[in-house]
Structure 1
Amino acid sequence: MITTIFQWTIVTFVLTVVFANRTSMESLYTDLLRDYNPHIRPNDDQTQRTVISVTMHLISINEIEELTGVMSTVVNVDVMWRDPRMTWNKTKYIDVTDILFPQELVWKPDLVVTNPAKKVRKIGFEDIMIRYNNNGIAYWYTGDYLETSCDIDVTHFPFDRQVCTIVMIPWNYRQNELTMSIAQNNVQMENFTANGEWILYKTTAERVGDRPYEYIYFNLYLERRSSFFIINLFVPVVLLVFLNCMVFFLSPDSGERVGYAITCLLAITVYMTLVSETIPKTSKPICILSIVLLVLLMVSTVICFLTIISLNFHFRSKQKPLPEWLAKITRALRCANIKRRCGNNPRSDRRERKETSTETSQSQTDVESSKTQSIEDSEHTSNGKSVHLEKESENCHEPQDHDLETWKTFAILFDHYCFLFCCISLLIGSLYFVIFTNIM
């Protein structure tokens, strides 16, 4: 019996508290909205400014379109202000400390993004509630999907960095009526989801007073992830061009040189066509990568042109000798190659061999007279070897065989230096692209 009475007492107390809280909430709701005008600023003295605090939370960066200059983001915006008309004594309403009101029934600032990509509209949704506490502090937690304009500079693509800005303004109020403050000097990133193409390495928030209005700039500093473009776009084209340079090592008599060079050129062209979708389609400004790829394509075209010229030199008739000026160039280039193979100082080697031969001859003068004939033979043989070494060294330094200056000899040297020229051009162009775009 006592247990039953105790249980009924507890149930009655709980129902009384719940009913009292609900009744208190309804009474508070009615009392606060009585004679409340949502179109008037909350200040008792309308000559004073209404101060609101704004904080932005970035949720995600969906896309950045280089051609149209549009950045798509999802954001949450927290706005806080004080409304003296929304204060109450919580003891009078059974410790009710918070209450929610539909935003169309109370005053709120109309925040508008001033750099939209499509149309100008208010931030937020129509069915969002505004929370008030008993001190009159209002909390408006809203969010939106924003498409804002962004000035995209793709000059250093894919190593480019961009600064995109979201600009907000209280649309209906001037600077002397409403002041916006920034709760944090940056954009909050607690719930941010990283983008697969862009790295967000810095954010800032700043308030700019441009009479008669006041703006808040939320700046997003972005850096493109370049690994995909380097591995799938730049490196394959460089390798194809280097493969095209190897045409100068093919034998001219194989008959495959022109076909090999043109095949590599077509492979580069087809590959660039396939990957052109990944390059920003804009000419303001044009990216350096497009220029580098064009230069590489031109190098491959020049290789085909030089291959045909080399074959023309190789298969020229022997009845038509080299011109004198071309023969001199061929002789100089051939001697440079021979000099590298024979050593840098052939004359010093020749002098050392002569001194060795002379010392040997003088040491043999004290031998018995019975060996004179053998000594003379030995000296003759030694001198003959010295003369042979001297001629060989002289040939390394100043070749005298004019019959080697033929069209085939010139074609071989032409291939050698064309290969060096193309490889050096390819290396310089690649290093320029990688280093210059990263430095700038």
Structure 2
Amino acid sequence: MEHLLFKIFLICFTEDFVFAYTLTNEQNLHTALLTGYNKDLRPGTDRTYPLEVNATFYLFSIKEFDLDTGKFSLTGVFQVNWYDERLSWDLATYNQTNSTSIPQQKLWLPDLINVNPYENIRGLGSDLIKVIVFYTGMCDWYALQAFEVICDADVTKFPFDTQYCTLKFFIWGYQPNEVNVNFISSKMILTLYTENGIWEVADSICHTQSNVYGYKEIVVGLHLKRRTAYYVVSLVLPITTIAGLMGFVFLVPHDSGERLGFSITVLLSIVVYLTIVQDMLPEASEPNISIMGYILVSFVLSGALVVVLVIISLRIQNCPDDKPIPQSVAQVVRCCRRRRQKKNKDSVEPINEKCGSLDDDESDGHVTWYEVGKCFDFVCFTSLITQLIVTCVTYFSIVLS
């Protein structure tokens, strides 16, 4: 208990000791620091060594990512600090004043210029921001800003796509051997980040690199991953379900009169979803068009083919009995008949002998156009379901790889 009281007393005593300075002390300090101070000259007594500038980037929120225009907006703050020996002072001279705030327009600042802006080129900070200066000459600058940059989207794997967007900065007006920028953390700080409803921050990177001219380029990059739950529920599953209905049209009895209307309705549904996806995706063809777009186009072509096949099936089943059936077609129908009869034999044991006689008698018997139509429907149904399964497996293996 005595130890706890001693710690509280020590903290209170220290705070009173540190913040004992007055307005007059701080006013005199500002006058002394800014008198004769030239903000156009970079700090550093020995000009043979570059000024070391340390930076950290804090991400607050992702505002917008427009895939059509490539506009990427976010809000964040750069914490930048450096030593300026001209802004150091003796604590005893100013009644233990250990820090003060000075408007940024009165001090030298590293001119970090955004070189990939969406609209206007601008630097960090504003006249509303102040620099915290400590008695050692350490300057701590928190440059809060909303950034709008260009980010070219790659929607090849939409809606399972990932994007990489960067903010690029130069320190304008200085040679590489005059100012050196180092990131304290190689990643963005996300402690104050507010989650975005569409994009998830998968990873981040903060580093410097040299461009082709040898100048240092400050890069803040974001790896974004799209949240896919909404698109799976509202886009992928409905499209897959509707595409699956194309094959089942051949199971509808031909004499019901609903086949053609059913197939056209399915085709129109796919066209509607194609329009929805086109509104979501950018019009650019580089680097690649979305695989989902190709899938929908293939579904549209399949839907159109289904309409044609339904018409052909109806004409086959309504052919007159006296019209001769080609031998190749009749042979295919007999194969389908044998396969169907074999299944019946395996499922109904008591009538093995009867089925055997049917197989012997009917396999080489007369083939009707109605049977040709039924065999044609079976082949179309099997082919379309197989195509759907292969298409879906191929698509998900590509986008999820």
TM-score (norm 1): 0.82
CA contact (8 A) 1:342 1:396 kept: no
CA apart distance, 1:394: 5.1
Task: Write out aligned runs for 1:78-157 (5 A).
Answer: 78-157=79-158
- Match status 1:295 vs 2:301: no
What is the match of residue 370 of structure 2?
408
Are the counterparts in 2 of residues 321 and 407 from structure 1 also a CA contact under 8 Å?
Answer: no
Distance apart, 1:116 and its partner CA: 1.4
- Tell me how far 1:20 sits from its aligned partner: 6.7
- Partners of 2:82 and 2:167 in 1: how far apart? 22
- 1:430 is aligned, of 392, 395, 401, to 392
Post-superposition offset of 1:276: 3.6
Q: Give the distance between the partners of 1:410 and 1:426, measured in 2 at CA.
A: 24
Aligned to 2:116, the other structure's residue is in SS state coil
Name the residue aligned to 1:250: 252
* Structure 1 contact 174–212 (Cα < 8 Å) conserved: no
Aligned to 2:241: 239
Distance 1:236 1:222 in 2: 26
Alpha-carbon contact 2:114-2:170 (below 8 Å) kept: yes
DSSP-derived class of the 1:402 partner: coil
Quote the Cα distance in structure 2 between the aligned partners of 1:422 and 1:19.
84
Residues 1:99 and 1:391: Cα distance change in structure 2 (over 3 Å): closer
**In structure 1, distance between residues paired with 2:161 and 2:240:** 21
| Alpha-carbon separation, structure 2, partners of 1:82 and 1:401 | 99
Distance 2:133 2:88 in 1: 8
Equivalent AA in structure 2 for residue 335 of structure 1: R
Amino acid across the alignment from 1:124: G
Q: Specify the alignment match of 1:173 in structure 2.
A: 174
1:348-390 CA deviation, whole Å, 9 max, x = no partner?
x9xxx9xxxxxxxxxxxxxxxxxxxxxxxxxxxxxxxxxx966
Once the 2 structures are TM-superposed, how far is the Cα of residue 25 of structure 1 from its aligned partner? 1.3
Instruction: Give the CA deviation at 1:217.
Output: 1.4
Q: Which residue identity lines up with residue 190 of structure 1 in the other structure?
A: T
- Change in Cα spacing, 1:90 to 1:434, as seen in structure 2 (3 Å) is same
1:173–1:213 contact (8 Å) kept in structure 2: no
2:165 is paired with a residue whose SS is strand
**Does residue 314 of structure 1 match 2:276?**
no
Contact 1:335 1:398 in 2 (8 A): no
Question: Which residue of structure 1 aligns with residue 12 of structure 2?
Answer: none
Q: CA deviation at 1:391?
A: 6.9
Closer/same/farther in 2, CA of residues 182 and 399 from structure 1, 3 Å limit: same
Deviation string, structure 1 residues 165-186 (Cα, Å, up to 9, x no partner) = 1112211111111111111111
1:168 and 1:401 mapped to 2: Cα distance? 82
* Contact 2:270 2:296 survives alignment (8 Å): no
Change (3 A) 1:391 1:188: closer
Picking from 322, 326, 337, the partner of 1:323 is 326
Equivalent residue letter for 1:22: L
* Structure 1 position 398, deviation (Å): 7.1
SS at match of 1:44: coil
Name whichever of 149-158 and 265-274 sits farther off: 265-274
Q: Aligned AA for 2:198?
A: E
Q: Which runs of 5+ in 1 are unaligned?
A: 1-16, 354-387
Q: Secondary structure at 1:112's aligned position in 2?
A: strand
Q: Relative to structure 1, is the Cα distance of residues 323 and 239 closer, same or farther in structure 2, using a 3 angstrom cutoff?
A: same
> 2:117 and 2:360 mapped to 1: Cα distance?
76
* AA of the residue aligned to 1:305: V
**CA-to-aligned-CA distance 1:79-136 (integer Å, 9 cap, x gap):** 1000111111111111111112122222111111121122211111123111111111
Shift of 1:401: 4.9
Equivalence map 1:281-430=2 (5 Å): 281-284=283-286, 285-343=288-346, 392-393=355-356, 395-396=358-359, 399-403=362-366, 405-430=367-392
The answer to whether the 8 A contact 1:67-1:281 is kept is yes
Instruction: Give secondary structure in 2 for the equivalent of 1:154.
Output: coil
Cα distance in 2 for partners of 1:389, 1:46 equals 103
Q: Letter of the 1:300 partner, please give it.
A: G
Q: How far off is 1:155 after superposition?
A: 0.7
Between the aligned partners of 1:165 and 1:280, the Cα distance in structure 2 is 19
Size of the alignment, in residue pairs? 382
Structure 2 matches for 1:209-224, cutoff 5 A?
A: 209-210=210-211, 212-224=214-226
- Cα RMSD (Å) of the superposition? 2.4
Unaligned 5+ runs, structure 2: 1-17
Identity %: 30
The offset of 1:159, in angstroms, is 0.9
Give the distance between the partners of 2:365 and 2:318, measured in 1 at CA.
19
Residue of structure 2 equivalent to 1:158: 159
